[in-house]
Amino acid sequence: MDTTVTTTTGMWKGGRSPFNVEYGKLMMWYFLMSDTFTFGALLIAYGTTRFATNGWPDPYIVFDKYPLSDVLGKPMPLVFVSIMTFILIISSVTMVLAVHEGHKMNRKGVAKYLVLTIIGGLAFLSCQAWEWTHLFHEGAWWGRNPFPNADGTISTTNFSNFFFTITGFHGFHVFSGVCINIIMLIMVLRGVFDRRGHYLMIEKAGLYWHFVDLVWVFVFTCFYLI
């Protein structure tokens, strides 16, 4: 570990934070851990149901549309969802850069990268809105599943139930992440963190935002790839 204790008293003897992490940030970590279990429970429920079912719709057929795919007449699997994935990765990168600028107490830099992160989040939400609208028009919704199994047999509605529940829950996290980032941006622009003397709040918002990206890694794999 790079952070070493030079005092003669030990880490746990009092007078300092034994984890060397500020209280709010530590609690954000524990919140994210509990949120991991929530998402984990949803995804494992999905997996269990999938393992308990004969046949399952082929994601490469279901999710092969993108805007203009009808005009071009060329459905392609994975195209749209990989765009969404890259949007989220890039917005995660801009968030790290915002945190990085925060360490240097650079107000303008933090504001710039927060704006980029918010744009990324909104772009992702727009993509998801398009996809949901598209699937709804194809006849898919909670309790309705127009897509047959990969072998052409009758599918259950579990496929669309889990898809809309889990991507919806993730989308809700993205939405709240965007709201948090907007609040952070307002606070940055009003100079709240400069007066406070540190940008730790940006780090906490950043942790949440990276978690949203992290969950998408799992959702993307479980629903679109395998």
Partner 1 sequence: MDHSIASIAEEQHVGGGRKEIWRVTIILTVLTLIELVLGFTMFEMNEGVGRHFVKGAIIILMLAKAFYIVAYFMHLKHELRSMILTIIVPLTLFVWFILAFLGDGDSFRNYKNKWDRGHVERSMEKMPVKTEDTHHLE
Backbone angles phi, psi at 144, to 5 degrees: -135, 130
Query: What is the rounded distance in angstroms from the CA atom of residue 62 to the CA atom of residue 28?
Result: 36
Q: How far is the CB of 185 from partner 1 (least distance, A)?
A: 19
Q: Which residue has the tokens 């989040």?
A: 121
Which CB sits closer to partner 1, 171 or 206? 206
Residues 54-73 that bind partner 1 (CB under 8 A): 54-55, 60
Number of shown-chain residues binding partner 1 (CB under 8 A): 72
Residues 12-51 that bind partner 1 (CB under 8 A): 15-22, 26, 29-30, 33, 36, 40, 44-45, 47-51
Query: What is the rounded distance in angstroms from the CA atom of residue 59 to the CA atom of residue 77?
Result: 8
Residues 185-214 that bind partner 1 (CB under 8 A): 197-200, 203, 206-207, 210-211, 213-214
39 in Cβ contact with 215 (< 8 Å)? yes
9, 38, 72, 86: residue in contact with partner 1 (rule CB under 8 A): 86
31, 69, 75, 93: residue in contact with partner 1 (rule CB under 8 A): 93
Query: What is the rounded distance in angstroms from the CA atom of residue 216 to the CA atom of residue 210?
Result: 10
178: its two tokens = 């965007």
39 in Cβ contact with 172 (< 8 Å)? no
32: its two tokens = 């994210």
Q: How far is the CB of 56 from partner 1 (least distance, A)?
A: 11
Selection from 176, 200, 205 nearest residue 23 by Cα: 200
Binding mask 147-186 for partner 1 (x = CB under 8 A): -xxx-xxxx-------------------------------
Binding mask 123-152 for partner 1 (x = CB under 8 A): -------------xxxx------x-xxx-x
Residue 145 sits at the vertex; the CA angle it makes with 144 and 149, to the nearest 5 degrees, is 155
Q: How far is the CB of 199 from partner 1 (least distance, A)?
A: 8
